[in-house]
Amino acid sequence: MYHKYDAVVVGAGGAGMMAALQLVGKSNVAVISKLYPSRSHTGAAQGGICAALGNTEEDHWEWHMFDTVKGGDYLVDQDAAEVLARDAVERIIELEHMGLPFNRTPEGKIDQRRFGGHTRNYGEGPVRRACYAADRTGHMILQTLYQQGIKDNVTFYNEFHVMDLLVNNGRCVGVTAIDIKTGELHTFHSKAVIFATGGYGRAWKVTSNAHACSGDGMAVAYRAGIPLMDMEMYQFHPTGLYRIGILLSEAARGEGGILRNALGERFCERYAPTLKDLAPRDMVSRFISQEIAEGRGAGPDKDYVYLHVDHLGKEVIDSKLPDITDFARTYLHVEPYTEGVPIQPTAHYAMGGIPTDIDGRVIMDEKATPLPGFYAAGEVACVSVHGANRLGTNSLVDLVVFGRRAGQHALNYVQQTDWDTLPANHEERSNSLMSFVKSGSGGGRTENAADIRKELQDRMQAWVSVVRNEENLAKMMSKLAELRERYQKVRVSDTVTKFNTDRLEALELGCLIECAEATTKGALERRESRGAQYRTDYEKRDDVNFLAHTLAYRADNGSVKELRYKPVTITKFQPKERKY
């Protein structure tokens, strides 16, 4: 089926909705979403959204910018970090005006609390910067933006899975997507496309991410010739529920929660004397890994540590941390009022992704050459404001700040640009993907997608997580080559056209494998330790050789063709050693 819109937004989480709200009413816009919008993974964010409002103590956007740059281990593009920290203030006010039910101070202003890596006066100590709605801030942002979408009468195509990005004459001219309900392929012809499709945490075994987070947007752009940037910078959040990875917000530590090892020691004190448990995530995840590696983990396999909030009292727990304590009760049958909650680092967030400039325009190389008409925002994008490690809350700030900027720029673009034609055979790549996963049992199709996915997740967890080295990364590269081969023989057993989620999962697996390979290759070639990339064989940061963004380009068979490097933009803050 054929549709024509000025702009098409793919993804209806925070970034996609924010972009769509800029375009609706002033242009003809549609939003395509794999899920109903209110199911998007933005809704799983818990602790807060930072902005230097200074509602409870002195704060300045420059401090927020500095924390973001330092938190990202200086791989952050500082022009983008400045935009993030400045625009955050207006965006929070805008969200409040839209109706977001923030927690309040005694005077009735938006309340703010502490969060990891956010400091006063360039690192002196923690600052109250995170605006929040209990521990369901992401849920409230998603609900609020979706509500505005309803109010403004945005057109949604729900339960549509993106298949291909259409490019003609050097311009982006649309996308294709399958309607999951009917199994039919749709072509959306447009002047602008905005990708806001989220991350790919499902490449790992223990993850906080939804099943839907399978790197679709990244893989689709990558297949269309766009490089993926800094994919090796993948964040492990320190406090995932043991074994299953469900997120327990940093807000637990922001409110005074502490981590203890099997001996009952508050081990973060030893590693980060100033910020302790509130050191940035890459560091706390490493502290936990080290405690476990040195035999101080808890449990029969000594492979977890405890998050304690029991000393905070029932009232604080119930009013500020209700959801996450409920998770501990529901999934581990542990009572946070009285005991520590078993936790381990969990695959959480892609700092890397589709490279963009500060207006969300997708760029194609180290010279920042844009692909006109193509935009990306949110986790799928890499602006880069998170560099080598994202600070807590900055993902939500990123969504609203850069989702809006992408939408505004795209609006301007579609108003000034004429239509271009669709490329010849614009359904070809989509149809070949579809027929690939449509085949039944014939033709040597012997592989089960679930087996391949499990092996991918297990190996990524073992070899490409918090602690890395050459040997394991090289082994992962061989494993990925093998999995890619086996994926060619995947058999989809469900033959029904309507709501064929068996086929959908096979398509998602193809995206995960490609994202995982860009990640592993980037990590292998980055012979240094920086932020989330910690290499035991190269323990120091190397600004001479690696103060640069990795750009991974795809080969026709889905492997990485080449890596290139793009310089980091440095404006206010020269790289320094990172201590907390």
Separation in Å, CA 290 to CA 267, 296, 439, 462, 464? 10, 9, 47, 15, 16
Dist. CA 439–CA 343, nearest whole Å: 42
Separation in Å, CA 382 to CA 396, 476, 514, 522, 550? 14, 24, 17, 15, 11
Q: Using the minimum distance from each CB to other proteins, give the nearer residue, 146 or 413.
A: 146
Least separation, in Å, of the C-beta of 40 and other proteins? 8
Q: Using the minimum distance from each CB to other proteins, give the nearer residue, 108 or 442.
A: 108
Least separation, in Å, of the C-beta of 248 and other proteins? 11
- Structural contact between residues 351 and 390, judged by C-beta atoms closer than 8 angstroms: yes
Least separation, in Å, of the C-beta of 243 and other proteins? 8
Q: Using the minimum distance from each CB to other proteins, give the nearer residue, 448 or 559.
A: 448
Which residue in this structure is represented by tokens 């969504």? 399
Dist. CA 38–CA 139, nearest whole Å: 8
Least separation, in Å, of the C-beta of 369 and other proteins? 36
- Structural contact between residues 403 and 380, judged by C-beta atoms closer than 8 angstroms: no
Q: Using the minimum distance from each CB to other proteins, give the nearer residue, 319 or 571.
A: 319
How crowded is the C-beta side of 511, counted as CA atoms within 13 Å? 30
Beta strands at 370-376 and 361-363: parallel, antiparallel or unpaired: antiparallel
- DSSP 8-state class, residue 311: G
Which residue in this structure is represented by tokens 């078993």? 342
Least separation, in Å, of the C-beta of 114 and other proteins? 19
Q: Using the minimum distance from each CB to other proteins, give the nearer residue, 72 or 245.
A: 245
- Structural contact between residues 533 and 468, judged by C-beta atoms closer than 8 angstroms: yes
Dist. CA 78–CA 66, nearest whole Å: 9
Q: For 446-484, give the DSSP string.
A: -B-HHHHHHHHHHHHHHHSSSSB-HHHHHHHHHHHHHHH
Least separation, in Å, of the C-beta of 498 and other proteins? 6
Dist. CA 110–CA 125, nearest whole Å: 22
Least separation, in Å, of the C-beta of 68 and other proteins? 23
Dist. CA 331–CA 454, nearest whole Å: 21
No. of helices (H) and no. of strands (E), the chain: 16, 20
Dist. CA 577–CA 123, nearest whole Å: 13
Least separation, in Å, of the C-beta of 367 and other proteins? 38
Q: Using the minimum distance from each CB to other proteins, give the nearer residue, 272 or 452.
A: 452
Which active-site residues does the annotation give?
Answer: 281
Least separation, in Å, of the C-beta of 172 and other proteins? 28
Q: Using the minimum distance from each CB to other proteins, give the nearer residue, 62 or 96.
A: 96
Q: Using the minimum distance from each CB to other proteins, give the nearer residue, 1 or 496.
A: 496
CA dihedral 534, 538, 544, 546 (to 10 degrees): -40
Least separation, in Å, of the C-beta of 451 and other proteins? 8
Nearest to 130 by CA among 297, 247, 255: 255
Token duo for residue 192: 């602008």
Dist. CA 130–CA 110, nearest whole Å: 10
Query: ∠ at Cα 534 (532, 539), nearest 5°?
Result: 140
Long-range contacts of the stretch 141-144 (C-beta < 8 A, 24+): 141/14, 141/42, 141/45, 141/49, 141/95, 141/100, 141/396, 141/399, 141/400, 142/13, 142/14, 142/17, 142/37, 142/38, 142/40, 142/42, 142/43, 143/38, 143/43, 144/95, 144/98, 144/99, 144/100
- Structural contact between residues 102 and 113, judged by C-beta atoms closer than 8 angstroms: no
Indicate the residue type of 14. G
Please report, as ranges, the residues that interact with other proteins according to CB under 8 A: 35-36, 38-41, 43-44, 92-93, 96-99, 101-110, 133-134, 136, 139-140, 143, 147-148, 150-151, 181, 210-212, 246, 323, 327, 330-333, 448-450, 492-502
Least separation, in Å, of the C-beta of 67 and other proteins? 23
Residue 122 neighbours by CB under 8 Å, 6+ apart: 63, 66
Q: Using the minimum distance from each CB to other proteins, give the nearer residue, 390 or 453.
A: 453
Q: Using the minimum distance from each CB to other proteins, give the nearer residue, 236 or 580.
A: 236
Q: Using the minimum distance from each CB to other proteins, give the nearer residue, 2 or 331.
A: 331
CA dihedral 35, 41, 46, 50 (to 10 degrees): -120
